[in-house]
Amino acid sequence: MNLDQALQTFIVESRELLEDMENSLLTLEQAEEKTELINAIFRAAHTIKGSSGLFSLDGVVAFTHVAESVLDRVRDGRVTISDQLIALLLSCCDHISALIDAVATGQDTSDATLTAQGAPLLEQLRSYLAAAPAAPTSSGLAATPAPTAQRLPSAASPQDHWHISVRFAPNVLRNGMDPLSFFRFLQTLGQIVEMLVLEDKLPDAADMDPEDCYLGYEIEFSSNATKTTIEGVFEFVRDDCQLQILPPHSRTSDYIRILEQESHEASARIGEMMVHCGALTQQELDMALQTQAASLPPAPLLGKVLLEQQSVPPEIVEAAIKKQAQVKEMHAQESRSIRIDADKLDQLINLVGELIIVGAGVNLVAQRANITELQEHTSKLSGLVEEVRDSALQLRMVKIGATFSRFQRVVHDVSRELGKDIVLLINGEDTELDKTVVEKIGDPLMHLVRNSMDHGIESAAERQARGKPAQGSLRLNAFHDSGSIVITVEDDGGGLKREKILSKAIERGLLESGHHLTDSEVYALIFEPGFSTADKVSNLSGRGVGLDVVKRNIAALRGSVAIQSTEGQGTTVSIRLPLTLAIIDGFLVEVDTSVFAIPLDMIEECVAFSEEPGHNYTNLRGEILPFIRLRELFDIRTPPKRRENIVVLKHSGQKAGLVVDTLLGEFQTVIKPLGKLFNQARCISGSTILGSGEVALILDVPALIQQATQGHAERKKNGISGDDLNHLLPKT
């Protein structure tokens, strides 16, 4: 990988880390257990700082270092997490993101403008560093010494001292070593706070050998030296003594912290991890490995050996085992996934689409040739092409959770700007849909979320006056339904005011006075261009710009939007979208010589239809079914066939019929967009190419159902004759 590629990888990974950091900060407010979230935030900042240093991005390193220092004090308990600090850290995320964007555009991160933008944030961060109180002693992190290496009673906070346990071998004096010389050298590294001389192995005077060493020592040692340095004091006598070095409580906490910060590229061996963090020396690890190798099968786990030889406290072993599991899981995930450029996926989808069209042509040739063996092979080929299609489409499917998570920050910031207390609740974040749809739905959702917060949810005082909880709730949900994805934005606010919307619509000339509309039709008026019921203009709303854009953008995705609202209780906006914009399973129908495609998942059933002049509705097993004659819709003037068919369509809980001449069967439909000239054409959502090379129009089912049900509603309003009712009722 060259430097440019490495830098691009750094930019992508930094943006992902910042996104994770922001999500953790937003979750932190509501979380009961905050420790793991704080550690995750710290690790993200630490990784960005370290990676920035590799590319000499001094501006990123300098700013992130200060933020990391504050986060370090939060982890130690020296700084208390608060709403004010979370808001500051979120602003720091924004500034680091701006610095990363500057890197992406080739700008110097030490630029004066960027430095000036970060200066107020640095000043606020340093106030936490200056005012931080001393760290309290962490509970549950105290090292557990060996039974023979008890802590000495001392008034000088022994938990802040190293504990050294030494048992010299009897022959140490014969080898020319003076035990006291090691203690004198030890004092050059720090201070021996207290020493206990152990005489348990001292024999009677008559049995004593003047050349044997019988004494042991328990030492409380105050020093900033590392464990390896302290062990080095006893290097020349290491083979002639039993040495155990236990860290102070604060050091134990440091070791655990370093283990947690280990990157996923680190070794998955707990021994190497503990040596790397300083909790274990290489010599202690070698001894443990030798003991493990010499044990009878099955060999004991290394962690157990280390605890038995009392080289490290049990909590460090536990932290290392936990980190080992995380590293293994991370490596397993990385081995299962690779990054693929989105353009390559789009090219693959296009090629699969062409393959489907060519395959349809081959099937047609096989049918005309009437060769059984050829038809069998083309049938198998069609099945394989369908599997390839599904696999290719699955590659572009992503979870909508990442899009939903963006709104945690929006709700956090906007609710404070409006002076409201609003919580965001998310459901269905694992629901998958096409990457292209996910990318294009973000802006419409942003409009709806901000609109619900500004117009929908009342202030805390208003809510309490109405008997509601002071905190308003906004809920995002996603789920699959009939081959589509439905996204809902629901609030528990004041709801839409039907009469106010009607009066505004009449005032603006969108509606004639006295015209009867259903609730859904009235609520749909808020999507008209320039429509607004806001009493005052704010930074968020009131200018009548936004919701018409929402409807237009959703329509461009071949989707639809609907509103349900109860005044005083809340509003739900439902967006229905196709799962993919590329390839669908279709059903072909024919009127005269024109062929049309209908999305298969929107077809309920197909039934035979007998011509009954004067009616645009029929009796479907006792249910009134409005229908549209496709021949009339597209002005096909040839007379209909003697026997016609009705395709029963379904969408959003509504049904309508489509009268056609011939049912041609299922067909894998590659969606081709219509030209700009046909953008305003109603009831058509695209086109496809048949195996014969002819073009077939793809019908817009939601528009067809809307047209059929509206026509039926008009006829109901004008009254249906008794003869009509007798005709529709089931015969007995």
d(CA 5, CA 18): 20
Which of 369, 396, 423 delimits the end of a domain?
A: 396
Please answer whether residues 617 and 728 qualify as being in contact, where contact means their C-beta atoms are separated by less than 8 angstroms. Answer: yes
CB atoms within 10 A of CB 367: 13
Closest CA to 664 of 587, 602, 609: 587
d(CA 80, CA 676): 58
Can you give the pLDDT at residue 139?
32
Please answer whether residues 571 and 565 qualify as being in contact, where contact means their C-beta atoms are separated by less than 8 angstroms. Answer: yes
Closest CA to 476 of 440, 436, 439, 448: 448
* DSSP 8-state secondary structure symbol assigned to residue 682: T
Residue 320 within any structural domain of the chain? yes
Q: Return the minimum-mean-pLDDT range out of 54-63, 109-118, 166-175, 534-543.
A: 534-543
Same domain, 216 and 312: yes
Looking at the predicted structure, is the pLDDT value of residue 92 above 90? Answer: yes
Beta strands in 70-123 (DSSP E): none
Residue 7 within any structural domain of the chain? yes
Amino acid at 438: V
Residue 137 within any structural domain of the chain? no
Residue 661 within any structural domain of the chain? yes
Closest CA to 666 of 585, 582, 590, 580: 585
For the residues 422-444, what does the mean pLDDT come to? 86
Same domain, 183 and 316: yes
Tens of pLDDT, residues 223-248: 888 888 888 888 888 778 888 888 87
585 vs 332, more confident: 585
417 vs 267, more confident: 417
CA distances (Å), origin 427, targets 144, 300, 431, 495, 577: 45, 45, 9, 21, 17
Residue 565's DSSP bridge partners are: 571
Relative to beta strand 644-651, strand 603-609 is: antiparallel
Same domain, 279 and 349: no
What CATH code is carried by the domain that includes residue 350? 1.10.287
Structure tokens at 150: 């008890």
Mean pLDDT for the chain overall: 79
Residue 150 within any structural domain of the chain? no
Can you give the pLDDT at residue 451?
87
3-state secondary structure of 609: strand
User: At 399, phi and psi to the nearest 5?
Assistant: -75, 145
d(CA 235, CA 558): 76
For the residues 148-168, what does the mean pLDDT come to? 59
Location of structure tokens 């081995």:
335
Closest CA to 137 of 162, 163, 159: 159
Residue 152 within any structural domain of the chain? no
Same domain, 379 and 460: no
Can you give the pLDDT at residue 254?
63
Can you give the pLDDT at residue 477?
93
Q: What is the percent of the chain where pLDDT is above 70? A: 82
Can you give the pLDDT at residue 719?
44
Tens of pLDDT, residues 632-678: 888 888 888 778 899 999 876 788 899 999 998 888 777 777 766 67
What CATH code is carried by the domain that includes residue 41? 1.20.120.160
Tens of pLDDT, residues 588-640: 999 988 899 998 888 889 998 866 666 778 888 888 888 888 888 888 888 88
d(CA 433, CA 397): 5
Same domain, 574 and 595: no
d(CA 28, CA 84): 12
Residues whose CB is less than 8 angstroms from the CB of residue 57 and which lie 6 or more positions away in sequence, other chains included = 99, 103, 109
Closest CA to 341 of 393, 388, 395, 401: 395
Report the number of distinct structural domains present in the chain: 5
Same domain, 597 and 717: yes
Same domain, 245 and 303: yes
Q: Residue count of the chain, please give it.
A: 732
> What ranges in 508-546 are assigned the alpha helix state H?
519-523
Residues whose CB is less than 8 angstroms from the CB of residue 259 and which lie 6 or more positions away in sequence, other chains included = 273, 274, 277, 279, 316, 319, 320, 323
d(CA 729, CA 732): 9
> What is Dmax (Cα atoms) for the chain?
130
Can you give the pLDDT at residue 88?
92
Looking at the predicted structure, is the pLDDT value of residue 581 above 70? Answer: no
Same domain, 187 and 284: yes
Tens of pLDDT, residues 267-281: 557 667 777 666 777
Looking at the predicted structure, is the pLDDT value of residue 265 above 50? Answer: no
Residues whose CB is less than 8 angstroms from the CB of residue 325 and which lie 6 or more positions away in sequence, other chains included = none
Range of the domain at 441: 398-578
Same domain, 371 and 495: no
Same domain, 561 and 472: yes
Can you give the pLDDT at residue 96?
93
Which of 534, 554, 578 delimits the end of a domain?
A: 578
Same domain, 592 and 569: no
CB atoms within 10 A of CB 270: 25
Structure tokens at 697: 């129009």
Choose the most confident range, by mean pLDDT, from 142-146, 453-457, 539-543, 613-617.
Answer: 453-457
Same domain, 239 and 252: yes
Closest CA to 74 of 143, 141, 25, 122: 25
Looking at the predicted structure, is the pLDDT value of residue 491 above 90? Answer: yes
Residue 608 within any structural domain of the chain? yes
Residue 666 within any structural domain of the chain? yes
Which of 292, 316, 334 delimits the end of a domain?
A: 334
Closest CA to 493 of 551, 554, 572: 572
Can you give the pLDDT at residue 572?
93
Tens of pLDDT, residues 72-87: 888 878 888 888 899 9
Which strands sit side by side in the sheet containing 594-599, from one edge to the other?
662-670, 583-591, 594-599, 695-699, 684-689
